[in-house]
Structure 1
Amino acid sequence: MVQLIDIIDAIRVYNPGADVEPVKKAYAYAEKVHQGQIRRSGEPYLHHPLEVALILCGLHMDIPSIVAGILHDTVEDTVATLEEIESLFGTEVRLLVDGVTKLSQIRFRTTEEKQAENFRKMIMAMAQDIRVIMIKVSDRLHNMRTLFHLPEHKQVIIARETLDIYAPISNRLGLQQIKMELEDLCLRYLKPNVFHLINTKLEQRQTERQGEIDEIKNVILSKLHEHNINGKLYGRMKHVYSVHRKMEKQHIPFDEVHDIVGFRVIVENIQQCYEALGIIHSMWRPVPGRFKDYIAMPKANHYQSLHTTVICLHGERVEFQIRTKEMHDIAEHGIAAHWQYKEGKLVNDKDEMKFKWIRRLLQWQRELSDPTEFLDTVKLDLFADDVYVFTPKGELREFPNGSTPVDFSYSVHTNLGNSTIGAKVNGKIVPLRYKLKSGDTVEIIKQKQQRPNKDWLQFVKTSRAKAKIRQFLRSEEHDQSAAIGKNLLEKAAERTHLSLSDILSSDAVEKFAKESSYDSVEKLLVPIGYGKISAQQIVNLVLTERGAETKSPEEISVKRPQKPSSREPIKVCGMSNMLVSFGKCCNPIAGDSILGYITRGRGVSIHRSDCPRIIGLDPERTIEAEWDTSVESKRVAKIKVVCLNKPGLLAGMTDAITKQGANIAAASIKTSDDNTATNYFDVEIKDTAQLRFVMKALERISGIISVERSNG
C-alpha cells in the first residue's frame, strides 16, 4: 500500500521546495474520515485516494491537486462536507474536490453511445478547473488497474465508458502514457482473448528481438556521439491496443504488422533533432510517406517530435521519434508539463497561452445555466464530425468538420466576413483555406478595402458563409464588371482611333442599349465586363454609324472573375481592387515585371512578363498590370536547391531561410544515387529583393551545389 512518505518523496523529485504540510494534513484527515471503509479488493479504502495522489505526482501536478486527489472521495463517501474541507484546506482545494464529486455523481441511464456522448459534453461542464479533469483521469486509471475485483458485467460497462471518454480526454490533454495504459486495460476487459493473444505475441517478439534492439541502440548512440550530439535512446514495443487497431484497420494478422519496435531519441535542442534525423536516414533507408514533422506542426495537444520509419537491421521496419527533453516532458506529462505553479497559479505567460482555450472553455461553461444548452454545445474535439473553436473573447463556436477561418468570420458578423484578409490561429498566421481544428483560438484579420473572393466558395463549408459570399458578389460584381468592361471598351476603341466618349455618346450604341433592355449606355459596361457582349461589337456599331469599315467581333469574356486577398495587391490599368488570379505557371511575386491577361471565366490572370505561357497568346487580351506597393504582401516563391546528401544540411537550409525573415510554407526532398539531394521549398516572400537575400544565404552554406528559382 502507498504510504505518505511515498507521495512526499515523489513530490520532492520534481518540486524539491514544495510545502508538503497540506499533503500531510490531507493524509491525516482522509485516514480519519475513511476509517473502517473497505474496497471490493479487501484493502482499506484509503489505499485508493493515495494511489490517485501518487499518479498525480507522476504527472508533476501542484500541491492543491495532490491534496484534492487524497480528498477526492471524502465528500461523496464519508461524513466530510465541502465547508469543512474549505475551512481546513482552503477555497482552491474545495473547488477541486467539488468538481471531482460532481463528475462522480453522473450516472448512465442506458449503455448506448448517446449517453457516452452526453458524458463527454458534461465532463467539461462540471469542471471548475482543468485540474479536476486531471484528478478524475487519475482516479479512473487506478480504478481500471483494480477492475478485476468487480463482476464481469460491470467490468465491460466501465471499460467501454473509459475507452469512449477517458482515453480520448487523456489524449487531448497530452497524457500519452495514461492514454495507452487505459486503452490496453480496456481491451483486456472488452476483448480479453484478443488482448492476451496480442500481448503474448508482443512479449515473444520482445524476447526474439532484444538483441537487435540493443544493437540498434548502440549503433545510433555511437553515431550521435561522432557528431557531438549528447542524446539518449529508449527502445520500446508498441502497446497492445495500438497493434489491435492497426490489425483491425488494415484487416491483417499480427505477423503482418510492421514497425512493432520503436525508439525515442532525446537530444538537447531542435537543431539536433533534425541532425539526428539525417544521421538515421543516412544509416537506413526511410519508408516513403512515413516521415512526420510534429516539431514544425505540433499536434493539437502540443505534442512535438519528428517521426520517421526506416528499414533497419534484417529488413525490419523500425519507428523513431526524435525530440528534445522539453518535448519529451510534454509527451510524458501532457498539459502539466506546461504549468509552473506558484500559489496555485500559472506563472509562465507563454505556456498559459498554449492552453488558454481550456480556461476559456471553463469560463464559457459557467455562463450557461441551461444544462440542455450546454449539452448540445460543448463537445470539443472528442468528436470527429464537428469542430469547436474559440473567438478571441473565449466564445465557443461550432462548425462542420473542414470549416475554415472564412466560415468563422461570417459566423461572427457579415461585415467581418466580407472584410476578412487573413487569420491567426493560436497566434500564428494561417491561410484562409486552413481547416480549423477543435480547440483552436481564431482571430480574424480584416481590412476595410478587402472584398470576398469567389474562390472562397470552393472551400467554405457553412451554408451561411456561402450565402453571404454569393450575396456580396452579386452586389459587387456590377461595379467590378463595369470597370473591366470600360477598360475593354477603351482598348477596342483605341484600335480604331475612337475615344470612350465617342462610344458613350453614340446614338447607335444608345439604341442598342435600349433594345437590349439596358437603361443607359453606361449599363452596357457590365455585360461587356461579363463577356456577354463583345467590346468590338459595340465599337462596330459606332464605325457603322460613321460609315467606317468594321472589324470582326471578338469574344473577350471575363465571367465573374476572382479577386485576390489584399495580401496580393495588384493594380490593373491603374485601378486597385480588381478581380484577378495569379498564373501558377510562373508564380509572380512583388518586384517581378508583370502583365495581365483577360481570361474566360477567371478574370485578369497575372503573369511574369517573361512567362513562357503568355508568349503567343492573343495580344489584344493582354492588359497593363503592376504591383500596388502601398500595401504589403507576401506570395509563395518556389526555390530549388541541389545539395550533397549529408546530415544537418536540411536544418541549415531551413535556418538560413527563416533568418532572412521568410516562412517555409512547404518543402519536399528527392535523393539521388549520386549522394545528392534536390530540395524544393515553397517560401512566403515579400518581394524579389527578399528572395535574392534568401537565395544568397542558401548559396553560402557548405555542401550546396546550386540554388535557383523554380516556376513549378
Structure 2
Amino acid sequence: MVATTSSVAVASWETAQAALGIELSEPERLQLETVARDAQSWLEGLTLETGEPVWSHALGMALLAAELKLDLASRLAALLYPVPTRVPEQWDAIQESLSPDVLRLIKGLQRLHGVRLRSGDGAPERDTIEAVRKMVLAMVEDVRVVLLRLSSRVMTLRWFAKHPEHESARSYAAESQTLYAPLANRLGIWRLKWEIEDLAFRLLDPETYKSLAKRLEERRVEREAFITERIAEFTALLQQMKIAPFEVTGRPKHLYSIFLKMQRKRLDLREIYDLRAVRILVPTVADCYAVLAEVHARYQPIEGEFDDYIARPKANGYQSLHTAVVAADGRPLEVQIRTFAMHRAAEFGVAAHWRYKEGAPKPSSYDEKIALLRSLLAWRDEVADANVWADRVKRAIKEEVIYVTTPAGRVIDLPYGATPIDFAYRIHTDVGHRCRGVKVDGQIVPLNTPLTTGQTVEILTAKTGGPSRDWLQPGFVVTRHARSKIRLWFAQAEQAQLEARGKTLVEQTLARAGKTKTKVDDLAARLGFKEPAALYRAFARGEVGPKALLEAVEGKPDASESASAARRRAPQDHVGPNAVASVVIGGERGFYAQPAKCCLPQLGDAIVAFLSRSRGLTIHHQACPEIARLRHVHPERVLPATWESS
C-alpha cells in the first residue's frame, strides 16, 4: 500500500460538519457550527497572497485540527484566525465573546504568520534560526499554535499541488522541507509529516515524483493482493495466541520516504522491503514481544532488518518493533508491531498529549515541558547550526530566558528580568543610546519595567543624544552587554572632552610660541604618539608639558620625555607608576590609562579600568581591594578592560 497525498478541496461547511465536530460534546458542536457559519459569511470571496481562498484554507485547518483530536478552542482559532486582519470590523464585534484561550491561540497564529525564509533554496542561516526562534516562542507558550501552523502549511501545499505553476510554489515547498517537515517529525506527528514531505517532493521534483508514482501504480493490484493474504495469515496467528483486541492492517508507504530510501541505500524500487508492509496493533508491550517471537518462529527473519524502538525510542518518542521476514511466497515483508497507545502517539505525536478536554487540566508538568523542549532542540539541530541559541532554549525550561518581539515580529531572547533598555541595546547599540521611552503591547511604561515572554516592545528614540547615568543604577539594566555599552559611552564621552581640552591647550601653547604652522601629525609622531588625538589627551592630563612640546617642535625632545614616549610606544614587561598604558575597553582600542599606584598592575595581569573625574582612566588589578571598594561606591565608573598588546 502506497499513500498518495490528498488535495481534495473542502467543498462547504455542510460537507465538513460531521468531521469538524468529532469527539466534541453537543454544546461544543453547536458553538462550533455557529462560529463556522459566521466565519464562512465573512471570509468567502477573500483570497490569500498565494491565491488560495481564505475560507477553504481556514476550514481545512480546522478539519486537520479535528483529525489531530485538538480541542474546541483550537478548532475555533483555526476558523477565526484570518478575521482580525481580513475583516477587522467583524473582529471588533466578536472578540469579547471569545474565551481567553481562543484569543491567545489566534494571537499566536498571527505572530507566526510572517515566518518565512527569504529564499526557498539554501536560505541564509540567520533567516532559518530566526524562523526557528519564532516557532519555539509560540511552542513555549502553547504548542497548539504550532500544530495549527503545521496544518496551515499543509493546506497551502495542497493548494500549490493544484497550481504548481504559481511563482511561489517552489519556494514554499523548499521551505516546508527545511522547516516544517522536520518539525512535524520531531513532534512525532506522522500524519502531517508525510503529507508535507510528499507535497513538497511533488512540487520540487515533479518528474521524479510522477515516474515513481507510475511505477508503483503499475504493480498496485498485485501488491494489495499480497498484503491481503498476509493480513489473513497474521489475523489467524493472533486469534490462536488469544490476544484481544488486535488490529492488522497494510501499512502505507509514502512516496518521499521511498525515494529517500532508494537514494540513501542505492536500491532499486524492487529492492525496497517495506513496500510490502503489515502493521500489527496489540494491547500491551508484552504482547508486542510475544507476537514478534511468533513471527520470527514462523517466518525467516532477514538479517540486519530488525529494530527495537520500544527499548530504544527515536528522538521524537516514536516506539515500535520493526522487522523484515521472508513471506510464504518467498518475497520480503516488513512487519511493524506496536501497542494501540504507541500507534496513537506515532500518528499524532505531541498532539496526543495536548488534547484539552472539558474539565481536564492542561498538561503543564516539568517533565512534559522538558520532553517538548528536547524535541525542539533536536529539530533545531536538523535545520540550523546554532549552539549558542540552543543553550538559550535549554535555559527557557528554567524560566531563565524570556522571548519578546519587535513591532515587525522579530523575536528577541533576553535574560529573565530584562528591561526595555536591555531590549534596546540588544537591537542595536545606537538604539540603546538614543532610547527615550518604550511602548509595551502598545502602552507607554517606565524604562525599568521588567519584560515578560510574549510582549511586543517598541523603543521610542531621539535623533541624537546618549544614555542616562541613571541607567547604571540598580533596576534599569540586567544584561552585561547593555551595562558595558553604557559605561563605554561615558568613557568615550569623557575621552572626547579630554581630547578637546588638550587640543585647545596645544593650540594655545603653539600660538604663544609663534608656531601655529606646525604640523601636529608630525609633532605627535616625534613625541611617540600614533595620532594627534593621543597627544591632545596626554597634554590635557599633564603627561606632556609645554617645554617638551616646544622642544619637539624644534626637533630636540628632552631625554626624559623621549624615554616616556618610548614607554608609550611599545609593550613592556614592567609598567611603572608614571607610565601610560594603551588598553582596550568594551572592545574599543585606543584608550590610554595610568596604572593605579595602589596595586601597580603589570602587563598580562587581569585588569579593570576606573574612570576618574580628575585623572581620566586608571587601571587596577582585578583583585585590588581599592577597585572592590570603588565597585561598591561608583559601579557606573568601573569598566571592563584588557591590555591592548594582548
TM band (smaller chain): 0.5 to 0.7
**1:446-465 → structure 2 map (5 Å cutoff):** none
| Alignment of 1:102 onto 2:106 | no
Partner amino acid, structure 1, of 2:149: K
Most deviating of 149-158 and 257-266: 149-158
| Alignment of 1:122 onto 2:131 | no
What secondary structure does 1:394 align onto? coil
TM-superposed deviation, 1:310? 1.3
* Mapped partners of 2:367, 2:235: distance in 1: 33
Deviations 1:245-283 (A, max 9, x none): 112112333233333111110112221111111111111
| Alignment of 1:149 onto 2:159 | no
Partner amino acid, structure 2, of 1:283: R
| Alignment of 1:329 onto 2:348 | no
> Does structure 1 retain, via aligned residues, the 8 Å contact 2:144–2:354?
no
> Does structure 2 retain, via aligned residues, the 8 Å contact 1:286–1:310?
yes
- In structure 1, the partner of 2:274 is 259
Identity of aligned residues (%): 30
Most deviating of 2-11 and 245-254: 2-11
- In structure 1, the partner of 2:35 is 26
Q: TM-score, normalised by structure 1?
A: 0.49
**1:381-396 → structure 2 map (5 Å cutoff):** 381-383=381-383, 390=394, 394=398
- In structure 2, the partner of 1:50 is 59
Judged with a 3 Å threshold, the aligned counterparts in structure 2 of structure 1 residues 248 and 152 are, in CA distance, closer, same or farther, namely farther
Partner amino acid, structure 1, of 2:84: V
- In structure 1, the partner of 2:318 is 303
* Mapped partners of 2:357, 2:328: distance in 1: 49
* Mapped partners of 2:312, 2:295: distance in 1: 21
Judged with a 3 Å threshold, the aligned counterparts in structure 2 of structure 1 residues 184 and 361 are, in CA distance, closer, same or farther, namely closer
- In structure 1, the partner of 2:100 is 91
Judged with a 3 Å threshold, the aligned counterparts in structure 2 of structure 1 residues 11 and 78 are, in CA distance, closer, same or farther, namely closer
| Alignment of 1:133 onto 2:142 | no
- In structure 2, the partner of 1:62 is 71
Partner amino acid, structure 2, of 1:120: V
> Does structure 2 retain, via aligned residues, the 8 Å contact 1:290–1:309?
yes
Judged with a 3 Å threshold, the aligned counterparts in structure 2 of structure 1 residues 391 and 309 are, in CA distance, closer, same or farther, namely farther
- In structure 1, the partner of 2:429 is none
What secondary structure does 1:19 align onto? helix
- In structure 1, the partner of 2:295 is 280
| Alignment of 1:244 onto 2:259 | yes
> Does structure 2 retain, via aligned residues, the 8 Å contact 1:270–1:324?
yes
Aligned residues: 382
* Mapped partners of 1:359, 1:219: distance in 2: 39
Partner amino acid, structure 2, of 1:28: R
TM-superposed deviation, 1:341? 1.8
Deviations 1:226-260 (A, max 9, x none): 11023211113421101111121123332333331
| Alignment of 1:316 onto 2:311 | no
* Mapped partners of 2:308, 2:361: distance in 1: 29
**1:566-577 → structure 2 map (5 Å cutoff):** none
Deviations 1:5-41 (A, max 9, x none): 5555235543446623432342133224314324699
TM-superposed deviation, 1:105? 2.0
* Mapped partners of 2:44, 2:332: distance in 1: 54
- In structure 2, the partner of 1:186 is 200
Partner amino acid, structure 2, of 1:296: A
* Mapped partners of 1:33, 1:239: distance in 2: 37
| Alignment of 1:170 onto 2:180 | no
Partner amino acid, structure 2, of 1:105: G
> Does structure 2 retain, via aligned residues, the 8 Å contact 1:57–1:66?
yes
What secondary structure does 2:335 align onto? strand
User: Which structure dedicates a bigger proportion of its chain to helix?
Assistant: 2
> Does structure 2 retain, via aligned residues, the 8 Å contact 1:170–1:178?
yes
* Mapped partners of 1:57, 1:13: distance in 2: 7
TM-superposed deviation, 1:100? 1.0
Judged with a 3 Å threshold, the aligned counterparts in structure 2 of structure 1 residues 393 and 198 are, in CA distance, closer, same or farther, namely closer
Judged with a 3 Å threshold, the aligned counterparts in structure 2 of structure 1 residues 211 and 124 are, in CA distance, closer, same or farther, namely same
Partner amino acid, structure 2, of 1:301: N
TM-superposed deviation, 1:157? 0.5
Judged with a 3 Å threshold, the aligned counterparts in structure 2 of structure 1 residues 326 and 353 are, in CA distance, closer, same or farther, namely farther
* Mapped partners of 1:150, 1:292: distance in 2: 38
TM-superposed deviation, 1:66? 0.3
Judged with a 3 Å threshold, the aligned counterparts in structure 2 of structure 1 residues 184 and 36 are, in CA distance, closer, same or farther, namely closer
* Mapped partners of 2:33, 2:296: distance in 1: 52
- In structure 2, the partner of 1:673 is none
Partner amino acid, structure 1, of 2:302: V
Q: TM-score, normalised by structure 2?
A: 0.54
Judged with a 3 Å threshold, the aligned counterparts in structure 2 of structure 1 residues 236 and 359 are, in CA distance, closer, same or farther, namely closer
* Mapped partners of 1:294, 1:275: distance in 2: 16
* Mapped partners of 1:378, 1:305: distance in 2: 20
Deviations 1:489-528 (A, max 9, x none): xxxxxxxxxxxxxxxxxxxxxxxxxxxxxxxxxxxxxxxx
* Mapped partners of 2:108, 2:69: distance in 1: 20
Judged with a 3 Å threshold, the aligned counterparts in structure 2 of structure 1 residues 108 and 327 are, in CA distance, closer, same or farther, namely closer
> Does structure 2 retain, via aligned residues, the 8 Å contact 1:27–1:70?
yes
Judged with a 3 Å threshold, the aligned counterparts in structure 2 of structure 1 residues 359 and 298 are, in CA distance, closer, same or farther, namely closer
Judged with a 3 Å threshold, the aligned counterparts in structure 2 of structure 1 residues 7 and 16 are, in CA distance, closer, same or farther, namely farther
TM-superposed deviation, 1:394? 2.9
Q: Name which of 205, 208, 219 aligns with 2:233.
A: 219
What secondary structure does 2:156 align onto? helix
Deviations 1:327-360 (A, max 9, x none): 11111222122234235864567xx566323777
